[in-house]
Amino acid sequence: MILALIAAPLIAAQATPLPDSAIGNAPASVLVAPFGTPEQRVIPDTPVPPRWWAELGSAKLDALVEAALKASPDIAVAEAQLRQAQELARAAGGGQFPQIDASYGATRARVSNVAATPLADPNATLYTLHTAQVSVSYTLDVFGGVGARVRSARAAAKAQSWRSAAARSMIVANLVNAVIQNAALSDQIASAKEAVTANREILSLIQRRQQLGAVGAADVAAQETALAAAEGVLPLLERAQRHNQALIAVFTGRAPGADLPELPTLDELRLPAQLPFSLPAATIAHRPDVQAAAAQMEGAAADAKVAMAARLPSFTLSAGYGGSATRFSDMFASGNPFWSLLGGVTQPLFRAGSLLHQSHAAKAALEAAQAQYRSTALQGFADLSDALTALKTDADALEAATRGDTASAQSLAFTRRQFELGAVGTYQLLPVVAARAAARETYVQARAARLGDTVALYQALGGGARP
């Protein structure tokens, strides 16, 4: 049974189903960008760089990440919890060694000169008794319960170490995604302002044509409606950007509303040409959530052993040495020292089933930790599969959005010129203006999506986290 508990983490790891490859049915090396968009290629057996965000090529982003790593409250919490877990592990390790205590006591008393008489003696003796003692106790770890308790504490520290690494990695990923989203919102706001400007210019042209009698009030009202719709988009984008900038401030340890350093634009963020790729076993080894679950499973196995050892006999050795005298300087004089040496064994006989049920509870906790490990590992594989799928599909979407953005700009230019010459009317121009705004928004979102997919891939492979 003890061997089974020790081998429990290995058994759970072996029972975790693994995909054929880390990218499902895709080949080990694949080009994920079609013609006409920035090329990205997945390179097999490539680890995630520790400073993966530098691959995006923005010094402004690098400075923000460094600030977040130093000032993020969430990272500070995780690191403090890690120090706590490490100290508790060191404290638990002390149980493997003998315990030594020193004591000193002084007693002031008055007793009768005739201690044996049943009658009270008015002649009392007043004295002070000094006693000093050093005691040593040691619990023999015959059935491994003490060592298992130490391993449980160390496993908890190890799990917290990986959680701390995961917190750092998650803060960085969230910050990078927020910066990407801010850049996309800036471009969307610029596009929305261009749309408002274009609609105002068109409205001015229609109003002049109305004065000449070329169009009626219906055309003016239709364009005023289009202008109001374009103006209504801008406040929503500005609100989203302010919220996003508040998140960036919090990630970097600033109060929302505080001045932020200059943030990079979409044009300043590049797509890495080469992306990392890991086999399933390497993915498990590098993901902090999976490693934290593995450490938690090790701790649960140790706890189950502790609960089992609590039902078995415990052996204790203790010794003491000291001295006692009425004068402090005479405590260790001839005849005053004393010593003792004891050995004992304790076997629980009746605890109303509490020890048995505690052992069953510990085994159930171990089974839950094993299942949690498998679930976490499988979720890691799903995250990696999703990230690689998104890279390919969003690359296709960006290629289509690029063509749509170019074509919509040309269509708007041609149609607007025809409108100015009177070849087309208001109702032919309005759909083209709306299509241009939609195409531009789609293009910006597709560019941001590809950057976000790259961040997601880095995170799915562990985010370069180290305990």
pLDDT tens, position by position, 232-245: 999 999 999 999 99
Q: CA torsion 146→148→153→154, rounded to 10°?
A: 120
Q: What is the pLDDT of residue 27?
A: 44
Question: Could you tell me how far CA 178 lies from the centroid of its own chain?
Answer: 16
Q: Are 55 and 272 in contact (CB under 8 A)?
A: yes
Query: Which residues touch 254 (CB under 8 Å, ≥6 apart)?
Result: 71, 260
Q: Residue 24: which pLDDT band, with cuts at 50, 70 and 90?
A: very low
Name the most confidently modeled range: 157-161, 397-401, 430-434.
157-161
User: What gap in Å lies between CA 341 and CA 346, rounded to an integer?
Assistant: 17
φ, ψ for residue 216, nearest 5 deg? -105, -175
Among the residue ranges 28-42, 220-234, 266-280, the one predicted with the least confidence is 28-42
Q: What is the mean pLDDT of residues 126-133?
A: 88
- The average pLDDT across 422-449 equals 88
**What's phi and psi for 49, nearest 5 deg?**
-60, 140
Distance of CA 104 to the CA centre of its chain: 50
* 113 within 8 A of 123, measured Cβ to Cβ: yes
pLDDT at 84 over 70: yes
The confidence score (pLDDT) of residue 98 equals: 92
Phi, psi of 218 (to 5 degrees): -65, -40
Using the predicted structure, report yes or no on whether residue 431 has a pLDDT greater than 50: yes
pLDDT band for position 365 (cuts 50, 70, 90)? very high
Report which of residues 157 and 28 the model is more confident about. 157
Residue 159: burial class (beta carbons within 10 Å; 0-12, 13-18, 19+): buried
Q: What is the pLDDT of residue 43?
A: 84
Provide the percentage of residues in the chain whose pLDDT is more than 90: 59
SS3 for 157-189 is HHHHHHHHHHHHHHHHHHHHHHHHHHHHHHHHH
Q: Between helices 426-460 and 217-251, what is the axis angle to 10°?
A: 20
Q: In the prediction, which pLDDT does 211 show? A: 86
The pLDDT of residue 192: 92
What are the CA-CA distances from residue 235 to residues 60, 137, 189, 243, 440 (Å)? 27, 73, 9, 12, 18
Spatial distance between the Cα atoms of 399 and 392, rounded to a whole number of angstroms: 11
Number of H helices, E strands in the chain: 10, 7
Euclidean distance between CA atoms 180 and 452, whole angstroms? 7
Residue 442: predicted pLDDT: 93
For the chain, domains (ranges, CATH) are: 2-99+143-311+354-460 (1.20.1600.10)
On whether the CB atoms of residues 373 and 293 are closer than 8 A, the answer is: yes
- DSSP string covering 200-220: HHHHHHHHHHHHTTSS-HHHH
Single-letter amino acid, residue 165: A
> What strands lie across the sheet with 41-42, from one edge to the other?
30-31, 41-42, 274-275
The pLDDT of residue 121 is above 70: no
Residue closest to 341 by CA, chosen among 94, 134, 142, 131: 134
Specify the pLDDT at position 354: 92
Helices (H), 53-96: 59-71, 73-93
Question: How much is the average pLDDT of 140-147?
Answer: 91
Give the residue from 289, 293, 312, 290 showing the smallest Cα distance to 301: 293
Chain-centroid distance of CA 413 in Å reads 49
Q: State mean pLDDT over 10-29.
A: 55
The mean pLDDT of the chain is: 87
Q: Say what the pLDDT of residue 41 is.
A: 84
pLDDT band at residue 113, thresholds of 50, 70 and 90?
A: low
Does pLDDT of 322 surpass 90? yes
DSSP, res 53: G
* Cβ pair 422, 212 in contact under 8 A: no
**pLDDT at 115 > cutoff 60:** no
Question: Which residues touch 443 (CB under 8 Å, ≥6 apart)?
Answer: 398, 401, 402, 404, 405
8 Å CB contact between 72 and 427: no
* Token pair in block for residue 439: 């195409």
Model confidence at 119, in pLDDT bands (50, 70, 90)? low
Beta-bridge partner residues of 324: 131
| DSSP 8-class letter at 234 | H
- What does the pLDDT look like over 42-80, one tens digit per residue? 888 888 999 999 999 999 999 999 999 999 999 999 999
For residues 458 and 464, the answer to whether their CB atoms sit within 8 Å is: yes
Pairwise CA distance, residues 234 & 37, whole Å: 28
Q: What are phi and psi for residue 290, nearest 5 degrees?
A: -70, -40
CB atoms under 10 Å from CB of 242, counted, come to 13
Kindly state the percentage of the chain with pLDDT values over 70.
Answer: 89
Side-chain-side CA neighbours of 383 within 13 Å: the count stands at: 23
Tens digits of per-residue pLDDT, 238-288? 999 999 999 999 999 999 988 999 999 999 999 998 888 877 778 888 899
Chain position carrying tokens 């004393």: 338
This prediction has a pTM of 0.84
Question: In angstroms, rounded to a whole number, what is the distance separating the alpha carbons of residues 306 and 137?
Answer: 20
